[in-house]
Structure 1
Amino acid sequence: MTTTKHDRQPLASAPANDHLLVHGVDEEPVEANRRLFQRGLLLAVTVLTIAYSAFHLYTLNISPLETWSFRIVHVCGALVLGYLLFSGSGFAEEGSTGPRWTSAASALLLVPAMYALVQTGRMYLMVREGAMRLPVDLETWHFGWPLLVATGLGIVVSWFHKRGRSVFSWPDLVLAISAITVASYFLVVYNTPMRMTTGTSFAPVGISFAAFAGSVLIMEMTRRLAGLALVIITVIFLGYVFAGPYLPGFLSYPGLSVQRFFSQVYTDAGVLGPTTAVSSTYIILFIIFAAFLQASKVGDYFVNFAFAAAGRSRGGPAKVSIFASGLMGMINGTSAGNVVSTGSLTIPLMKKVGYRKQTAGAIEAAASTGGQIMPPIMGAGAFIMAEITGIPYTEIAIAAVIPAILYFASVYFMVDLEAAKTGMRGMRADELPSLKRLARQCYLFAPILILIVALFLGYSVIRAGTLAMVSAVVVSWLSPNKMGIRSILKALGLSGIMSVQIIVVCACAGIIVGVISLTGVGARFSSMLLGVAETSQLLALIFAMGISVLLGMGMPTTAAYAVAASVVAPGLVQLGIDPLTAHFFVFYFAVVSAITPPVALASYAAAGISGANAMETSVASFRIGLAAFIVPFMFFYNGALLMEAGVLEIARALVTATIGVYLLSCAVQGWFLRQHAMGMVRLMLLASAMMMIAGGLITDIGGIALALAAFFLQKRLAGAPMATQP
């Protein structure tokens, strides 16, 4: 998804009376296909976005709705906002009006769209009067087919409809009405005993019509916001539903009829299942929390604090990127989005101090991706993992600590060695904000600390997130960026816009999860994985890694993990791997798919900012984040890396694994003991790193011995005096 950015000042020195280096990191990037309404339209859409966020806060904290009804409204609201705000075909050039026939076609399509919506009102009255079944003719000819006509043709017309960026889109109004119609039908039917008939021959035929239209609307909005990758994967899975009986081998299954499948896909087995359960509770709540942090300018503070703390060290902006992107990335839930928000500030500064443009982009991509595995929030992955596995959230957050340390330590070592190898400088003191002055504002970290403390005191995630949100407002009153009613409303409106993409992506992933659960392909994949494991368990893990990365390529982190957890994780559990370990294994590879060539969304976003070749940037980011591809294998061999051991064993695993990722960084960068490492030394360092990361006592001793041998060999070959790397 291409974005444009508000004006920012990453390179200009701050005025004398201003101790900040950068401004505007909290400003939300504006997507290239987002409409920018004015006057009355802007006011109307703003009211809708505020109402959408306020609805979730009210429902989650004060007056809960019935679960399915809440999730239906949740998905419907995101679709309506999405179709009102995001164009499906770009915008007309200035002075051009685009093809005129699309407006006329849209006016015609409003008729079946409104007609189908009116029929849901008729159905509601019938149910209120005690009807146990709805007339088939009413559901088919007066509701189903008009809805499909309006939806299908509305999408096609929207592909050709181009108007100015501030102009309302009539085809998308048709699609928004269709989304409301789908939701209205499900709200009517799912609050009656007819809900129990889904998946049987007794299910009302209207469910299949509404589910098909809803699925198409979700996929089209996913295309607009996240690109074609997830849509193509979804279409392939949907094709499997009906082609499966004709496929050979383990892919074959008895088959499902169109009506039986679509009568279940819009239930808690699919769209309304685990992914939407998480997006409608934890994800939306933390998006609102992130919007409140942005409104109070905490993001600016994070980045400036990082500059003040690390900017003077060699390659300083790269280290700032690691720190700032890790903090921001754990909150915003998307690697590519984090690259756009912080990378527009850090990438130009990295280039300024000497990093090549592809390296600068790669560092930002790797750091932003790491934010998704950084506790306590971990993007949204921790919440989805808790929902799927039933493991308490706090246990997942604790288990994520050491892997996150190893990942960020590895990236830090990589950029430090790169800076040392190329002789880079840090930034001058007069180029940086004052650490002393920023330290006086350390209270701005309070919302994050309150969130962590509340979670570990046993508060629910929703209650802890709400407390943190309120604390962000209170803390802002102590800063220059005080939040009043207008700022709070602006934050609610911003969160409504920010939430659309991830909600729709979760709903689309729910379709795939529905296919997996209803066809049983996940169980057959698990059987195949068990067969591979009979030959070699390590080979089975490598195979599972490949599938997780492949499924995640081009997909946002949340969707990537949800799909991989449905396909791969059950097979790993059947291998005898602990469920927490299995899901962490899958989660890490779903996350790092964002920096894995050839389809690396985070790397591509960074390349767009740095001006480097996208493929070169993705290869460089893969190299910088290499530890993330190795550490998950160690979960299987050493539970201490996930806090599943005694204190001393955990401490030893942390120390030796950290040394291991440092040696791995030296081997990859070819820099050891302040000088270039010879080929044999690099191989020895690589072997030593693998042994140290493994974590066993014998392998640790062997790794230390091999590292010492590499040390003395490097000293002898280079003829340099004995030295230690600072």
Structure 2
Amino acid sequence: MSVQAASAAGAGPVIAQGVDDEPLAGNQRDPQGRIGLLIAILCAAYTVFHLVVMVLYPLETWTYRMIHLCGGLLIGFLTYSALSQTTEDPAPGAARHPVGLALTAVAVAGIGYGFLMIAIAWGGWWIAGAAQPPGFAFRTYGIPLAVGTVAAILAGWFFSPRSRRRIPLLDVALGFAALAVLGYILFVVAPLRMRAGTGMAQPGDLWAAVTGVLLILELARRLTGLALVVIVGVFIAYSFLGPWLPGFLNHRGYTPTRFFTYIFTDQGVLGDPIAVSSTYIILFIAFAAFLQASKVGDYFVNFAFACAGQARGGPAKVAVFASGLMGMINGTSAGNVVSTGSLTIPLMKKVGYSPKTSAAIEATASSGGQILPPIMGAGAFIMAEVTGIPYTDIVIAAIIPALLYFVSVYFMVDLQALKLNMKGLPRSELPRFADLIKQVYLFLPIIILIYTLFAGYSVIRAGAMGMAAAAMVSWLTPHKMGPRQIFHALELGAKMSIQLVAVCAAAGVIVGVIALTGVGARFSSLLLTIADQNQYLAMFFAMCISIILGMGMPTTAAYAVAAAVVAPGLIQLGVPVLVAHFFVFYYAVMSAITPPVALAAYAGAGLSGSDPMKTSVEAFKLGLAAFIVPFMFFGAHELLMQGETIDIIHATASALLGMFLLSAGVIGYYFGHASGLVRIVLLAAALSMIAVGWISDAIGLTAAVGLFLWQRQMVTPNVLAKGRAD
């Protein structure tokens, strides 16, 4: 509905439209006709399969995770190209280079032969009940399959067509390679459990694992870029180069058969990240897809504009609330910047924010969504899986740190608007709150989700009930979810989950390397050595490693890797498990706005037209609280809801005042423009309040009151000299 039409209907202007629509990535295909319908059916079936298994008919663990992984690979290669796409068809003969044709021929022949051998094995089982395939099948399938996969990947890098409408033969072949890996591992899954990673592993096991790792890395490259692939490559190289490395990095090295077969077990690729991806992540992505299909996201953003759009710097405050809420269920900081930032960034620029600041605010808020309970961008579920701590305990512990972060960002936005004398949007251009409050029932799916989680229902059942609630609530809106809309939601759920499937599988490779080589234990020893000198120095070192490991990686992978490398060392220092994992989780998330590789800030800069590096520095400043909060709850566990109620209240109140003083010092506005000296004192007072202690609080509070009197000119140099007021 247009703004004018909405106004004519008496509902007030509509600001947010299409927030729920998933924008096409640069290399994402959009096939039409029968091919498009076939892929949509495949995606919907993928989502339904997971829902049925989780809710009704459980499957054996390795079988379920392999279907989840290889199904994701198949959909991923059909929907994402190796190169960026254009809407135009390629020029005739553009994909007919002799080298490209040769690589295509090798790819099709190799993958075709490997797939055929696996098909023969399964055909013998289904038709004749033969538990053992013909000897030549598993003995000869592997090398052609791996060589064909390499040829298809190389051909895709250099000769992939650039039309969104076409799916080249190369990517179809890669999909069949994923099915061949699935078919082999499922056929030998029982003996493979016993022999993987040992001297008994068979050559067929090796080639299935090598092909699987190649497919995972190629899909991760297509979906997230080279950063994650390079990091995984470094860890793989480390497994073979260990005997020649110095110090705590040295290890005895491994043969390819032992390494790759170990990596493709539940200690690696099929381990915790994929366990979470195949259950909680896809469940809540499907929940988010149902919300998107029913256009609830548009309502969230319009509601935020009705509440805060007229306030000074209104669009920036809307971005803080709306992007945080959408980022919580989105799962990726950069993805949320693209979806909501296309609306909020132009409006922020309209009321006076610079392009750089507009993009930075959006990036900071979207990244904060990853730490916002109850979903936390899927991070809460991974933490529960890795630590064994109940999900509800993690959500409760996350409340105060998330509050501190968003309060700090809000203060910075508000103080900057004051400093620059900004206004909000005119009320005539905003949705009417009185009209939107009548649709407040659209929050019901999230309320039901939270209630069922804390009422003792399993996470899976709570998510399923949330999806059902989203479909039912939509019938009270113009966007009723009938069979077609439900089908679209199921299709969307699969497409939204593919990135996280690839990311979790790639992170699983890193986790497997850490488990196999024992480098995590050696890193823990290094942290203990540093802690002998100073525990806070060890924590600072852990912070830096967590940020570096997370740079360029989606949140899920960043936390999974940091949890495997850094968290065990913190636990050995005596840090409680919950505190240690929250510590690395925060810094893994905030790597998205940390220069020089700040994915969320770069995404925002692309929308606003600002300089990416300057935008990332600005986002770092606005999100500074997230870099301090982990040290706060390291020193005061009350901020994670640990301890007596009065102590929790005291720690929270002190920290909130500290966040205000920190924001004022960073922005340079404290009841008036703040000079350089006042800003330094404000930052010192903020750190004093953040320390959480009665004496430090008294110092910080005294400084805050003194600066207030100074800024209001109730105390001046003249008064101080005379010792009295005139």
User: What TM-score range do you get, normalising by the shorter chain?
Assistant: over 0.9
Query: Mean alpha-carbon deviation: is it higher for 170-179 or for 11-20?
Result: 11-20
Q: Give the aligned CA root-mean-square deviation in angstroms.
A: 2.0
CA displacement, residues 187-216 of structure 1 (integer Å, 9 cap, x when unaligned): 1111x2342111111122211111111001
CA displacement, residues 672-692 of structure 1 (integer Å, 9 cap, x when unaligned): 11x111222211111111111
1:689 match:
686
C-alpha contact (below 8 Å) 1:132/1:194 kept by paired residues = no
Alpha-carbon distance in 1 for matches of 2:131, 2:484? 48
Query: Mean alpha-carbon deviation: is it higher for 81-90 or for 605-614?
Result: 81-90
Unmatched segments (≥5 aa) in structure 1 = 1-7
Instruction: State the identity as a percent.
Output: 55
1:247 match:
245
Specify the code of the residue in structure 1 equivalent to 2:687.
Answer: M
C-alpha contact (below 8 Å) 1:526/1:568 kept by paired residues = yes
Alpha-carbon distance in 1 for matches of 2:5, 2:703? 48
Shift of 1:125: 6.4
Shift of 1:255: 1.4
2:308 match:
310
Inter-CA distance 720–498: structure 2 relative to 1 (3 Å threshold): farther
Alpha-carbon distance in 1 for matches of 2:630, 2:682? 20
Unmatched segments (≥5 aa) in structure 2 = 720-726
Query: Mean alpha-carbon deviation: is it higher for 21-30 or for 92-101?
Result: 92-101
Shift of 1:625: 0.3
Show the 5 A alignment for 1:177-326.
177-190=176-189, 192-326=190-324
Alpha-carbon distance in 2 for matches of 1:33, 1:717? 61
Shift of 1:108: 4.7
C-alpha contact (below 8 Å) 1:635/1:642 kept by paired residues = yes
Alpha-carbon distance in 1 for matches of 2:436, 2:510? 47
C-alpha contact (below 8 Å) 2:32/2:165 kept by paired residues = yes
Shift of 1:117: 1.4
Specify the code of the residue in structure 2 equivalent to 1:99.
Answer: A
Shift of 1:21: 2.0
Inter-CA distance 412–607: structure 2 relative to 1 (3 Å threshold): same
Alpha-carbon distance in 1 for matches of 2:717, 2:311? 25
1:635 match:
633
Alpha-carbon distance in 2 for matches of 1:139, 1:289? 41
Specify the code of the residue in structure 2 equivalent to 1:691.
Answer: S
Alpha-carbon distance in 2 for matches of 1:127, 1:196? 22
CA displacement, residues 209-260 of structure 1 (integer Å, 9 cap, x when unaligned): 1111100110001101000000000000000000011101000011111111
C-alpha contact (below 8 Å) 1:163/1:169 kept by paired residues = no
2:83 match:
89
1:99 match:
95
Alpha-carbon distance in 2 for matches of 1:316, 1:104? 58
1:521 match:
519
CA displacement, residues 246-281 of structure 1 (integer Å, 9 cap, x when unaligned): 101000011111111111101101000000000000
C-alpha contact (below 8 Å) 1:284/1:499 kept by paired residues = yes
SS class of match (2:476): coil
1:566 match:
564
C-alpha contact (below 8 Å) 1:133/1:194 kept by paired residues = no
SS class of match (1:322): helix
C-alpha contact (below 8 Å) 1:12/1:21 kept by paired residues = no
1:16 match:
8
Alpha-carbon distance in 2 for matches of 1:389, 1:318? 36
TM-score by length of 2: 0.95
Shift of 1:478: 1.1
Show the 5 A alignment for 1:108-187.
108-124=106-122, 138-140=137-139, 142-159=140-157, 160-187=159-186
Shift of 1:131: 8.3
Alpha-carbon distance in 2 for matches of 1:391, 1:677? 45
1:534 match:
532
Inter-CA distance 487–134: structure 2 relative to 1 (3 Å threshold): closer
C-alpha contact (below 8 Å) 1:715/1:721 kept by paired residues = no
Inter-CA distance 671–135: structure 2 relative to 1 (3 Å threshold): same
Find the partner of 1:350 among 344, 348, 351: 348
2:381 match:
383
Alpha-carbon distance in 2 for matches of 1:134, 1:697? 74
Alpha-carbon distance in 2 for matches of 1:663, 1:464? 40
Alpha-carbon distance in 2 for matches of 1:521, 1:133? 39
1:28 match:
22
1:5 match:
none
Find the partner of 1:50 among 11, 29, 44: 44
Inter-CA distance 717–601: structure 2 relative to 1 (3 Å threshold): farther
Inter-CA distance 134–248: structure 2 relative to 1 (3 Å threshold): farther
Inter-CA distance 43–349: structure 2 relative to 1 (3 Å threshold): same
Alpha-carbon distance in 2 for matches of 1:369, 1:567? 22
C-alpha contact (below 8 Å) 2:710/2:716 kept by paired residues = no
Query: Is the aligned partner of 1:711 residue 2:708?
Result: yes
C-alpha contact (below 8 Å) 2:665/2:682 kept by paired residues = yes
CA displacement, residues 60-90 of structure 1 (integer Å, 9 cap, x when unaligned): 1111111110000001011101111111023
Alpha-carbon distance in 1 for matches of 2:272, 2:717? 59
C-alpha contact (below 8 Å) 1:595/1:618 kept by paired residues = yes
Query: Mean alpha-carbon deviation: is it higher for 84-93 or for 524-533?
Result: 84-93
SS class of match (1:440): helix
Inter-CA distance 133–520: structure 2 relative to 1 (3 Å threshold): farther
Inter-CA distance 614–149: structure 2 relative to 1 (3 Å threshold): same
1:364 match:
362
Shift of 1:146: 0.8
